[in-house]
Amino acid sequence: MNSADTKKWYYMLPIISIAILLGGWMLVAQGEGSMIPTPYATLMRFLDICVHPISKAVLPVHMWMSLKRVLIAFVFAIVLGIGLGVGLGWSTSFHAFADPVFEILRPIPPIAWIPLVILWCGIGELPKVVIVFIGSFVPIVLNTYSGIKEIDSLLINAGLVLGANRRQLLTEITLPATTPAILAGIRTALSSGWMCVVAAEMIAAKQGVGFLIVRGQESGDTALIVACMLVIGVVSLLLSTILSKLEGVLCPWQFSKTK
């Protein structure tokens, strides 16, 4: 194959894989009383809930509710997570102080917090935001911390010999060197945050995509469930694309211009 053909081939492959997915889906959705909605039924349901409200809101509003919870929690998780991660990685005494507590709390799955958080914060917006925060905070802390721990000591030494002070070593050497690791943590945090928001909404919410999925389950409306799942998938994809762009802006050195 010449290179133009190869290129065409690479454009074809994703189309083929999606076609196979759709084909398989149609196949299993065949037949009377199938518990799986057909792609067509799902599409129709999707269009329907875009205009006809469920629980006083159309689909875009539910989506926005979920997204808003994720984004608010995310801002706090990024600021506090990077802060704690830098503290753990940079200061030996802070590490000795805070690490044991963090190590005990860290392995607890964020979803396990849901009952307690609902008891504490009621059923308003706060508990969902808190749960997403817990879910996205941990990966950001861990990646920031290990990024700082694993920094090549040569880079620090080179800075020391040039006469850099401790603040410069942190802000001009350690943090830039750790940015890719922090961004990887944010990426993990994003998927974890989505998981948490859907889970929290499934348990206690009047709006949001997680709520819609449970509503679908209660009324046996499988098309609604699948439509919501696909919307979650597409929105996550969009967010992760935005994140990739952000990586390109924050770490231009990772992406060569010449190669």
Partner 1 sequence: MSEDVKVKVRGLTKKFGDLLVLDNISFDVKKGDFVCIVGPTGCGKTTFLNLLVKLLEPTEGQILIDNEPADPKKHNMAFVFQEPSAYQWLTVEENIQYGLKIKKYPKDVIEERTKEIMETLGLEAVRKSYPHELSASLEQRVVIGRAFALHPDLLLMDEPYAQMDIKVRYYLEDQVIKLWQKTGSTVLFITHNIEEAVYLSEKCLILSNKPTTIKEEKKIELPRPRNIASSEFIELREYVTSQIKWW
Least gap, CB of 121 to partner 1 (angstroms): 40
Least gap, CB of 141 to partner 1 (angstroms): 22
Q: How far apart are CA 9 and CA 235, in angstroms?
A: 27
Task: Give the phi and the psi of residue 169 in degrees, each rounded to 5.
Answer: -60, -35
* Cβ nearer to partner 1, comparing 58 with 160: 160
* Cβ nearer to partner 1, comparing 72 with 156: 156
Q: How far apart are CA 232 and CA 201, in angstroms?
A: 13
Lookup result for tokens 């504490």: 120
Q: How far apart are CA 193 and CA 76, in angstroms?
A: 12
Paired strand residues for 57? 54
Position 163: which residue type?
G
* Cβ nearer to partner 1, comparing 33 with 163: 163
Least gap, CB of 30 to partner 1 (angstroms): 53
Q: How far apart are CA 142 and CA 148, in angstroms?
A: 10
Q: How far apart are CA 121 and CA 19, in angstroms?
A: 45
Q: How far apart are CA 95 and CA 45, in angstroms?
A: 52
- Give residues in contact with partner 1 (CB under 8 A): 154-155, 157-165, 168, 173, 176-177, 179, 251-254, 256-259
Least gap, CB of 155 to partner 1 (angstroms): 6
* Cβ nearer to partner 1, comparing 168 with 236: 168
Least gap, CB of 157 to partner 1 (angstroms): 5
**Residue 155, both tokens:** 């880079």
* Cβ nearer to partner 1, comparing 44 with 251: 251
